[in-house]
């Protein structure tokens, strides 16, 4: 890392909330069309954020070089999003507005996000839907031809747009098609099956990346005038999660080591409704969409010793625990609240199914009241998926569900312009920390990714490029060579023959268990300290014993994977430091020491109304920097869903 | 459960490949097909052998990464699912299972069960888009689209781009893929202005990439994990015919419908 000193200037424009984004756009400098042609921008990632950014930048006339580790840009993890995307269109005329979407998101995030960013997100949300329709996204429609909406947890209006259970797929195919157009026009050079392994920083500015060609194994340096990371989230640090198997922290973690502050790394969302794990062979957890909680009721037997099949347990001997604890929102409380309630029940020994890891999600009432056909029409594909995986028919017996790591609110710190603490390094989508505070509401990540990529970054990066002097640098610049060497050394170490033989997956599984136990749905100081002791010794063992067959000079999936696990093994420590220092409970971060008598989280605005941004120091504990959160427009209140 | 796996191993694109037999036991019926391969690979790695390369990512049937021919059938014996959605309880204990990569001239093998499917991306780049700039769109409800139309477009748009249709076809044709893509946009009003150019460009790209022609055998529909219907191939043929006529008419004038040359 260079001599770079971290300062956290959020760069929020002054003035009324509604005017901030307009003002920024007006005051920003523009790059002339002739100059754009001479400017090269690197975009890493082709999910919703990366594909929308790369295509828009290409269309504006920049030269874009775009990378992803997948074999095709269309396979980014965004493809798997099911439920939908929010927008304050108020097409249902049910009282929605930009202000309400803003408020719901700020409150949903438990007052740990930046007001100006969230407001801008709500403003832009409406344009996203227009843009996607123009690109041919086949959103669900009403008979009259207008767009249809559904509801999601944590809100009381119907503002979610969807394409059956495949919203992420359709939005990504839209952005991918826009990208295809720019590739065809020669504005974007696409490099699939290429993994970014380091950032090149010259005179304090991000000027390129080091990548590995995953087919040939060849390493190379690529330079540019600015670098955009759109590399997604890191829920896979827990080993088992709802994410795709390739999701990782490598890109953002390596940028952290070069000087980009990492914000709120411990803010990780555990989704309440996934299919429970069944054995050690398990490779992933499958999400059952949040929309199921519109009609399904969560319960467990009142008595822990009750081993009867669910259908034989009479209603009076069932505990509908969400309805009991949160009468106002019932089964539709936000994710963090629902997940904790499920965990509390299972910790009491009242869980159902193998290992007591599960609660029932029961549709028998709605089937009785509205008929099986209604349920089949609404959720047929999910019931099928459930049956395929568990072998059980959820029309006849209740589903069993259990929480699973799902989304990471934490990410690289960015200012209002989406620039990290390394000038010229921009971060968009799930990879940044920006808009969701300590908890994300359903259907708002797709919204954020596309807002960042289509509408925000293309403006703010222009201002940076227009105001910075970036002399051309050769690809073999000293900084490039240094970065290449860092990467090479690490890869060599991974493929070296080892004493005892243990696979990367077995280390990953062990790490996941530590984090799930101590830095998962609930955390306490003693547990986090235990994790901080256990992780370094696991890491040491990893470097001593991990076995990676083959060489670095060829297609080698195990080497790719081992490299990601090595980064997780370092990054996990940062998560635990962050969770340990935050002595309050907020959103998804629940510290057992800070709760009310009823077991509800106790937030501490006096001391912790800030973004925790961590700086890397070689061989030392990470250093904490704070960005205070000033709430000018909404007053933080206790976040009650009772 | 116990199985005997016959797996295609091939070190690289230009090497000779062949089947290698691996016994696996201790398989639980709750395992997915890919989890069984994971377990085999863990064993091979510890033994210092090269693990079997295969593609996977989402493991829930949507990303289109996984791509195995299982006992001769792309994505295995069940209809309407991808390889990653296949569970071992579906197989008979003790069976021998043959696992091969997608085989097609347009999909060269990279290693073992991993093939290069970039040809599909190049077809999309040739014309599989609507060329609208970011920021210029009108309000989304200005355009009314009937529920039926939207649903049919969505049926076509469900394609996950896995390439099973190509792998199942004797001629290694990509007709179902191209049909799904062309139909999705042709069925929507937004896609109409460029329909002529789009279908011509995509069909030409398909031919250029070395995919074969459609033999009307419909194996593609049978293996498609999203059960995309061959009626979209009929729609593609109509679009193509219409475009050929339009193109002939236009070429007698000086400009094309798209305002740019092909
Ligand atoms: C099962 C599931 C369902 C979901 N449903 C919803 C929903 O209904 N609504 C909603 O709003 N959100 C949902 N989410 C969350 C949402 O899908 C994600 O947060 C979002 O899609 C992330 O988009 P992204 O563009 O930031 O990153 P991704 O889509 O994850 O893309 C990351 C990209 O970066 C590339 N990449 C990563 N690292 C490297 C590297 N080192 N080198 C090169 N390339 C790299 C990858 O190849 C990929 O192209 C869901 C998530 C899951 C897991
Ligand atoms: S792994 Fe994504 S479809 Fe099978």
Q: Over the stretch A543-564, which tens digit does the pLDDT of each residue have?
A: 999 999 999 999 999 999 999 9
Minimal-distance CA residue to ligand 1 atom 51: A81
Residues of A in contact with B140 (CB under 8 A): 89, 129-130, 132-133, 139, 147
Q: Which residue in chain A is spatially nearest to B126 when comparing CA positions?
A: A184
Claim to verify: residue B52 and residue B176 sit in the same structural domain:
no
What would the mean pLDDT of A569-588 be, rounded to a whole number?
Answer: 98
Claim to verify: residue B169 and residue B251 sit in the same structural domain:
yes
- Cα–Cα distances (Å) from B217 to A58, A369, A542, B41, B222, in that order, read 41, 45, 52, 37, 10
Expressed in angstroms and rounded, the spacing between residue A196 Cα and the centre of ligand 1 is 16
**Parent domain of B8:** 3-111
Q: Is residue A434 part of a domain?
A: no
Which residue among B77, B93, B111 closes a domain?
B111
Expressed in angstroms and rounded, the spacing between residue A182 Cα and the centre of ligand 2 is 27
Residue B249, pLDDT score: 80
Residue B253, pLDDT score: 60
What would the mean pLDDT of A95-113 be, rounded to a whole number?
Answer: 95
Claim to verify: residue B130 and residue B233 sit in the same structural domain:
yes
Claim to verify: residue B125 and residue B244 sit in the same structural domain:
yes
Expressed in angstroms and rounded, the spacing between residue A441 Cα and the centre of ligand 2 is 26
Claim to verify: residue B103 and residue B173 sit in the same structural domain:
no
* Residues in Cβ contact with A459 at an 8 Å cutoff, skipping those fewer than 6 apart: A24, A25, A28
Which residue among A387, A406, A425 closes a domain?
A406
Q: Examine the pLDDT at A3 and tell me if it is beyond 50.
A: no
* Residue of B1, B56, B62 to mutate, testing the A interface (most A Cβ within 10 Å of its Cβ): B62
Identify the CA nearest to A586 among candidates A606, A605, A599: A605
Claim to verify: residue B167 and residue B128 sit in the same structural domain:
yes
Neighbours of A598 (CB within 10 A): 7
Residue A640, pLDDT score: 77
Identify the CA nearest to B226 among candidates B47, B62, B77: B62
Which residue among A347, A380, A406 closes a domain?
A406
Strand ordering across the sheet containing B69-70 = B18-24, B3-9, B96-100, B69-70, B73-74
Q: Which residue in chain A is spatially nearest to B58 when comparing CA positions?
A: A244
Q: Is residue A337 part of a domain?
A: yes
For ligand 1, is residue A160 a contact (CB within 6 Å)? no
Residue B252, pLDDT score: 67
In CATH, what number is assigned to the domain containing residue B93? 3.10.20.30
Residues of B in contact with A139 (CB under 8 A): 140, 150
Question: What is the number of structural domains in chain B?
Answer: 2
For ligand 1, is residue A47 a contact (CB within 6 Å)? yes
Q: Which residues line ligand 2 (CB under 6 A)?
A: B 56-59, 61-66, 82-84
Claim to verify: residue B245 and residue B225 sit in the same structural domain:
yes
Ligand closest to B35 (CA) is 2
Q: Examine the pLDDT at A151 and tell me if it is beyond 50.
A: yes
In CATH, what number is assigned to the domain containing residue B247? 1.10.1060.10
Q: Over the stretch A346-404, which tens digit does the pLDDT of each residue have?
A: 999 999 998 899 999 999 999 999 999 989 887 888 899 999 999 999 999 999 999 99
Q: Is residue B137 part of a domain?
A: yes
In CATH, what number is assigned to the domain containing residue A541? 1.20.58.100
Q: Is residue A362 part of a domain?
A: yes
Cα A559 to Cα A307: distance, rounded to the nearest angstrom = 46
Residue A598, pLDDT score: 85
- Smallest Cβ–Cβ distance between A142 and the set B81, B147, B161 belongs to B147
Q: Examine the pLDDT at A1 and tell me if it is beyond 80.
A: no
Q: Is residue B262 part of a domain?
A: no
Claim to verify: residue B83 and residue B167 sit in the same structural domain:
no
- Smallest Cβ–Cβ distance between B39 and the set A147, A281, A547 belongs to A281
Residue pairs spanning A and B at CB distance below 8 A: 213
For ligand 1, is residue A251 a contact (CB within 6 Å)? yes
Claim to verify: residue B21 and residue B54 sit in the same structural domain:
yes
Residue A136, pLDDT score: 98
* Mean pLDDT for back-to-back runs of 10 residues, chain B (262 residues): 98 96 96 97 94 97 98 97 96 98 97 98 98 93 95 97 98 98 97 97 97 95 98 97 88 51 35
What would the mean pLDDT of A600-605 be, rounded to a whole number?
Answer: 94
Claim to verify: residue B93 and residue B124 sit in the same structural domain:
no
Ligand 1 pocket test, candidate residues A56, A76, A79, A213, most atoms within 8 A of CB: A76
Q: Band of the pLDDT at A573, cuts 50, 70, 90?
A: very high
Residues of B in contact with A284 (CB under 8 A): 59-60
Q: Is residue A597 part of a domain?
A: yes
Residue A84, pLDDT score: 92
Residue B262, pLDDT score: 35
Which residue among B83, B111, B139 closes a domain?
B111
Residues of B in contact with A391 (CB under 8 A): 30, 87, 89
Cα B51 to Cα B41: distance, rounded to the nearest angstrom = 5
Identify the CA nearest to A593 among candidates A524, A509, A536: A524
For ligand 1, is residue A613 a contact (CB within 6 Å)? no
How large is the ipTM? Answer: 0.95
For ligand 1, is residue A199 a contact (CB within 6 Å)? no
Claim to verify: residue B95 and residue B199 sit in the same structural domain:
no
What would the mean pLDDT of A193-215 be, rounded to a whole number?
Answer: 98
Residue B258, pLDDT score: 45
For ligand 1, is residue A398 a contact (CB within 6 Å)? no
Are B141 and A558 inside 8 Å of each other by CB?
no
Identify the CA nearest to A338 among candidates A128, A590, A63: A590
Claim to verify: residue B101 and residue B22 sit in the same structural domain:
yes
* Residue of B91, B102, B134 to mutate, testing the A interface (most A Cβ within 10 Å of its Cβ): B134
Q: Over the stretch A61-102, which tens digit does the pLDDT of each residue have?
A: 999 999 999 999 999 999 999 889 999 999 999 999 999 999
Q: Is residue B260 part of a domain?
A: no
Residue A4, pLDDT score: 57
Q: Examine the pLDDT at A2 and tell me if it is beyond 50.
A: no
Which residue among B67, B87, B111 closes a domain?
B111
Question: What is the number of structural domains in chain A?
Answer: 2
Cα B79 to Cα B226: distance, rounded to the nearest angstrom = 9
**Parent domain of A571:** 478-609
By CB atoms closer than 10 A (0-12, 13-18, 19+), residue B252 is: exposed
Gap from A567 CA to chain B (nearest CA, Å): 19
Are B147 and A145 inside 8 Å of each other by CB?
yes
Ligand 1 pocket test, candidate residues A445, A452, A564, A571, most atoms within 8 A of CB: A445
Q: Over the stretch A245-259, which tens digit does the pLDDT of each residue have?
A: 999 999 999 999 999
Q: Got the DSSP string for A102-141?
A: HHHHHHHTTT-S-HHHHHHHHHHHHHHHHHHHHTT----B
Gap from A160 CA to chain B (nearest CA, Å): 14
Ligand 2 pocket test, candidate residues B32, B38, B59, B67, most atoms within 8 A of CB: B59
Mean pLDDT score of chain A, rounded to an integer? 95
- Smallest Cβ–Cβ distance between A144 and the set B60, B144, B154 belongs to B144
In CATH, what number is assigned to the domain containing residue A294? 3.90.700.10
- Smallest Cβ–Cβ distance between A134 and the set B50, B132, B151 belongs to B132
Residue B260, pLDDT score: 38
Are A139 and B121 inside 8 Å of each other by CB?
no
Q: Is residue A532 part of a domain?
A: yes
3-state secondary structure chain B: CCEEEEEEECCCCCCCCEEEEEEECCCCCCCEHHHHHHHHHHHHHHCCCCCCCCCCCCCCCCCCCCCCEECCEECCCCCCCCHHHCEHHHCCCCCEEEEECCCCCCCCEEECCEECCHHHHHHHHHHCCCCCCCCCCCCHHHCCCCHHHHHHHHHHHCCCCCCHHHHHCCCCECHHHHHHHHHHHHCCHHHHHHHHHHHHHHHHHHHHCCCECCCCCCHHHHHCCCCCCCHHHHHHHHHHHHHHHHHHHHHCCCCCCCCCCC
Residues of A in contact with B81 (CB under 8 A): 388
A245 CA: nearest ligand 2 atom: 1
Are A428 and A50 contacting, i.e. CB atoms less than 8 angstroms apart? yes
Claim to verify: residue A498 and residue A590 sit in the same structural domain:
yes
Q: Is residue A331 part of a domain?
A: yes
Q: Is residue B261 part of a domain?
A: no
Residues of A in contact with B34 (CB under 8 A): 283
Minimal-distance CA residue to ligand 1 atom 21: A78
């Amino acid at each position: 890392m260079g001599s770079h000193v971290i300062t956290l200037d959020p760069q929020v424009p002054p003035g009324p909330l509604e005017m901030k984004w307009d003002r920024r756009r007006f005051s920003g400098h523009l790059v002339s069309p002739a100059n754009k042609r001479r400017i090269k921008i690197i975009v890493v990632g082709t999910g919703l954020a990366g594909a929308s950014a790369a295509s828009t930048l290409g269309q504006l006339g920049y030269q874009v070089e775009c990378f992803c580790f997948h074999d095709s840009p269309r396979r980014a993890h965004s493809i798997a999003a099911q439920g939908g995307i929010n927008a304050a269109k108020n097409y249902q005329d049910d009282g929605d507005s930009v202000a309400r979407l803003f408020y719901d998101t700020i409150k949903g995030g438990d007052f740990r996000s930046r007001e100006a960013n969230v407001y801008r997100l709500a403003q832009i949300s409406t344009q996203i839907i227009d843009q996607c329709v123009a690109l041919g996204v086949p959103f669900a429609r009403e008979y009259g031809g207008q767009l249809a909406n559904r509801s999601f947890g944590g809100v009381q209006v119907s503002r979610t747009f969807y394409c059956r259970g495949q919203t992420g797929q359709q939005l990504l195919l839209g952005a991918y098609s826009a990208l295809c157009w720019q590739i065809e026009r020669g504005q974007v050079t696409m490099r699939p099956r290429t993994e970014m392994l380091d950032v090149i920083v010259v005179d304090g500015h991000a000027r390129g990346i080091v990548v590995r060609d995953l087919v040939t194994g060849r390493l190379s340096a690529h330079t540019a005038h600015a670098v955009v990371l759109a590399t997604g989230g890191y829920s896979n640090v827990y080993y088992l999660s709802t994410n795709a198997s390739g999701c990782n922290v490598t890109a953002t973690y390596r940028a952290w080591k070069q000087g980009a502050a990492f914000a709120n790394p411990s803010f990780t969302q555990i989704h309440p409704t996934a299919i429970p794990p069944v054995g050690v062979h398990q490779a992933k957890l499958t999400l059952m969409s949040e929309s199921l909680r519109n009609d399904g009721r969560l319960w467990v037997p009142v008595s822990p010793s009750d081993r009867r099949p669910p259908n034989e347990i009479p209603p009076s001997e069932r505990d509908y625990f969400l309805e009991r604890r949160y009468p106002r929102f019932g089964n539709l409380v936000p994710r963090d609240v629902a997940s904790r309630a499920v965990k509390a029940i299972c910790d009491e020994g009242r869980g159902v199914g193998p290992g007591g890891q599960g609660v029932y999600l029961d549709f028998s009432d709605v089937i009785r009241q509205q008929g099986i056909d209604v349920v089949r029409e609404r959720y047929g594909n999910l019931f099928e998926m459930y049956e395929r995986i568990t072998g059980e028919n959820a029309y006849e017996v209740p589903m069993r569900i259990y929480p699973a790591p799902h989304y990471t609110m934490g990410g690289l710190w960015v200012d209002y312009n989406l620039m990290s603490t390394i000038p010229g390094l921009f971060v968009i989508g799930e990879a940044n920390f920006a808009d969701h505070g300590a908890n994300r509401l359903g259907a708002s990540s797709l919204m954020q990714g596309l807002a960042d990529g289509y509408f925000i970054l293309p403006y703010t990066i222009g201002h940076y490029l227009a105001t910075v002097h970036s002399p051309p640098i050769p690809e073999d610049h000293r900084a490039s060579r240094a970065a290449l060497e860092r990467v090479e050394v690490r890869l060599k170490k991974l493929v070296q023959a080892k004493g005892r033989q243990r696979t990367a997956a077995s280390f990953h599984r062990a790490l996941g268990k530590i984090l799930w136990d101590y830095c998962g749905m609930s955390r306490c100081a003693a547990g986090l300290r235990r994790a901080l002791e256990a992780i370094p010794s696991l890491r040491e063992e990893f470097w001593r014993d991990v076995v990676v067959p083959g060489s670095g000079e060829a297609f080698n999936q195990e080497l790719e994977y081992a490299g990601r696990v090595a980064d997780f093994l370092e990054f996990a420590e940062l998560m635990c430091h962050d969770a340990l220092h935050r002595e309050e409970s907020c959103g998804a971060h629940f510290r057992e020491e800070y709760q009310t008598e009823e077991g509800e989280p106790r937030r501490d605005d006096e001391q912790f109304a800030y973004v925790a941004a961590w700086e890397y120091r070689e061989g030392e504990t990470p250093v904490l920097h704070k960005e205070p959160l000033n709430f000018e427009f909404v007053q933080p209140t206790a976040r009650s869903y009772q | 459960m116990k199985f005997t796996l016959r797996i295609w191993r091939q070190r690289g694109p230009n090497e000779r490949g062949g089947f290698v037999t691996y016994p696996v036991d201790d398989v639980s019926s709750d395992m997915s097909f890919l989890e069984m391969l994971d377990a085999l690979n863990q064993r091979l790695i510890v033994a210092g052998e090269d693990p079997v390369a295969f593609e996977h990512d989402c493991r829930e049937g949507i990303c289109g990464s996984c791509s195995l021919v299982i006992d001769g059938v792309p994505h295995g014996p069940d209809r309407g699912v991808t390889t990653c959605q296949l569970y071992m309880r579906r197989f008979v204990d003790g069976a021998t299972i043959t696992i091969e990569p997608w085989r097609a001239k347009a999909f060269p093998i990279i290693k073992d069960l991993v093939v290069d499917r970039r040809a599909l991306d190049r077809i999309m780049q040739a014309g599989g888009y609507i060329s609208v700039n970011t920021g210029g769109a009108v309000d989304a409800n200005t355009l009314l689209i009937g529920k039926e139309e939207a649903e049919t477009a969505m049926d076509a748009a469900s394609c996950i781009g896995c390439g099973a249709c190509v792998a199942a076809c004797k001629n290694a044709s990509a007709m179902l893929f191209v049909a799904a893509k062309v139909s999705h946009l042709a069925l929507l009003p937004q896609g109409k202005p460029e329909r002529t150019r789009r279908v011509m460009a995509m069909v030409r790209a398909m031919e250029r990439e070395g995919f074969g022609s459609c033999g009307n055998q419909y194996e593609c529909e049978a293996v498609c994990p999203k059960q995309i219907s061959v009626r979209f191939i009929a729609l593609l043929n109509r679009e193509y015919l219409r475009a050929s006529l339009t193109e002939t008419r236009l070429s007698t004038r000086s400009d094309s419908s798209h305002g740019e040359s092909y």
